[in-house]
Amino acid sequence: MPDLLQIEHIRKTFPGVVALDSVSFSVAPGEIHTLLGENGAGKSTLMNILTGLYRPDRGRMLFAGREVRFASPRASLACGIGMVHQHFMLVPAHSVFENILLALDGVPGFFSRRRFRARIQQVIDEFDLGLDLDSPVWKLSIGAQQWIELIKLLMRDCRLLILDEPTAVLTPQESERLFAVLTRLREQGKSVIFISHKMREVMEISDRVTVLKKGRSLTTLVRGDFDQARLAGLMIGDDQVPQWQKQSRVGDDVVLDIRDLSVRNDRGLADLDSCSLELRKGEILGIAGVAGNGQKALAEVLTGLKKAASGMILAAGEDITHSSARSSYIAGIAHIPEDRKSIGIAPDLSVDDNLILKSFKQPGFRRWIFQDRAAIRRNAREKIAQFAIKAGPDGAPVRYLSGGNIQKVIIARELSENPAVLVALYPTRGLDIGSAEYVHKVMADGAARGMSTLLISEDLDELLKICDRIAVMFRGRVVGCVDPRRTTREAIGLMMSGEEVA
């Protein structure tokens, strides 16, 4: 059977950067094909070409045997290619039905609401997705919102579905359900391009895997010809993966004491609801939970970005409940934010300037009222070497860096003052193996020096590997704490969905 998609020798450049260099691979009908590669390998650029956001400089694409060049995302969709992005494109105030209807072409000004509802409900029932068409989107879990995005593509009868890190926001049970749906789609003859950094998932779901590295397609392997070690070796190549060893030296001193903390959002609803936690000296405390259950509010109130409605935060015995972000920083609390590009950095400033965003007023970086550019450059050189940052040309905006290197810039800045507590919100989301291991090494080395870390993550494998304890959040509350050495992924997954585990 001929391939559904053929990509041949695609090249794409940006000013000073070769993003893709002669990339080739194909996707067969009824195949789940995984794209694997480090940050900066070219996966996003390739998908942006396939969905009509970018145009290639060279090479060609064939879809269903016909050469195609997409001038816009609409042209790609019309051809039968659809993508579920990491950031969903939904209108929160509208219902499930209205969001799906907005995505359809050819809906007349006067239409039969009953007929369209029946068509959508048929898809929901076929895959047992359990969605209420009348429910407002803002009331739904992140996993349910992802089903809406998938239904939008199925209603358009897309033949090729692209899923970008689809399990990053799902519980283990929801991930298994997603894989069951993908298997059903494969049986129906639909093709899937699956993008993930989670090796366990790649091994479970993939028919073939194409490995990208530094903008080139290295190889395509068929199921049975690859295992986790081989795939990791191909991705990393000659690059060094940071080595670290967990040394549990958790002390008795409580460095962060959270008591009945509540935080309300803009609608007056409780993002945090009587949340209580203790973080000990040298401890890595994991926070598990599906996104949207209060984790972000917890990180923001601890770092002074949100105000508490009630409750108390004690840092080393000092009440910082109503502190500002700067007061929290002075109190020794560092922060790796969820959205590294829009919150963690000043994207148009250089790496040098981003590394001193919190310390630019210090005497070491100033000469009277002026900045000491030589001192700022020396500091940048030291941090770039210490944290292995691939920074590019001097003075280039930090936004040109890969996701992993942007994360290293944030970590270097946050740890430069030797904080007592690190609040890390999804610090390895979207990072490749090497970059993720680097983040883990930073936390493990910090714990050995007595730094405490609050690690908020949706990746249970990550939490089980590095944490001393794991607290599970559901609807703004901590529903339980477990010892990672004495629990299972399934038990934590049940707690993440609100079920009590004996």
For 426-453, the pLDDT digits (tens) are 888 767 777 788 888 888 988 988 899 9
Mean pLDDT of the chain: 84
Distance between CA 426 and CA 340 in Å, rounded?
A: 10
pLDDT score recorded for residue 328: 66
User: Does residue 115 or residue 207 have the better pLDDT?
Assistant: 207
For residue 314, pLDDT over 80 is answered with yes
pLDDT digits (tens, 9 = 90+) for 62-108: 999 899 999 898 899 989 999 988 777 888 889 999 999 888 877 66
The answer to whether residue 11 scores a pLDDT higher than 80 is yes
In this model, does residue 501 exceed pLDDT 60? no
Amino acid 108: pLDDT: 66
Residue 126 has pLDDT above 80, yes or no: yes
How much is the pLDDT for 334?
A: 87
pLDDT at site 121: 92
HEC letters along 455-494: EECCCHHHHHHHCCEEEEEECCEEEEEECHHHCCHHHHHH
**Dihedral of alpha carbons 94, 77, 167, 46, sign:** negative
Strand 81-84 relative to strand 32-37: parallel, antiparallel, unpaired? unpaired
Examine the pLDDT at 285 and tell me if it is beyond 90.
yes
Classify each residue of 125-137 as buried b or exposed e, where b means 16 or more C-beta atoms within 10 Å of its C-beta.
Answer: eebeeebebeeeb
Please tell me whether the overall predicted TM-score, pTM, comes out greater than 0.75 for this model. Answer: no
| Strands 58-63 vs 370-371: parallel, antiparallel or unpaired | unpaired
- pLDDT value of residue 300: 87
pLDDT at 290 over 70: yes
Q: How confident is the model at residue 220 (pLDDT cuts 50, 70, 90)?
A: very high
* 281 and 251 Cβ atoms separated by less than 8 Å: yes
Tokens representing residue 479 in the block: 């529903």
Summarize the confidence of residues 139-157 as an average pLDDT.
85
**pLDDT score at 27:** 94
Given the structure tokens 């929901």, which residue do they identify? 124
What domains appear along the chain, each with residue ranges and CATH number?
5-236 (3.40.50.300), 240-332+419-502 (3.40.50.300), 346-416 (no CATH)
pLDDT of 268: 62
Q: Output 228 or 499, whichever has higher pLDDT.
A: 228
Between CA 349 and CA 404 the distance in angstroms is: 18
For residues 152 and 99, give the distance between their C-alpha atoms in angstroms, rounded to a whole number. Answer: 8
What is the rounded CA–CA span in Å between residue 183 and residue 44? 24
Q: Of the given ranges (2-6, 206-210, 377-381), which has the lowest mean pLDDT? A: 377-381
Measured CA to CA in angstroms, residue 84 lies from 77, 112, 226, 347, 492 at distances of 12, 28, 26, 26, 26
- CB-count exposure of residue 229 (10 Å: 0-12, 13-18, 19+): exposed
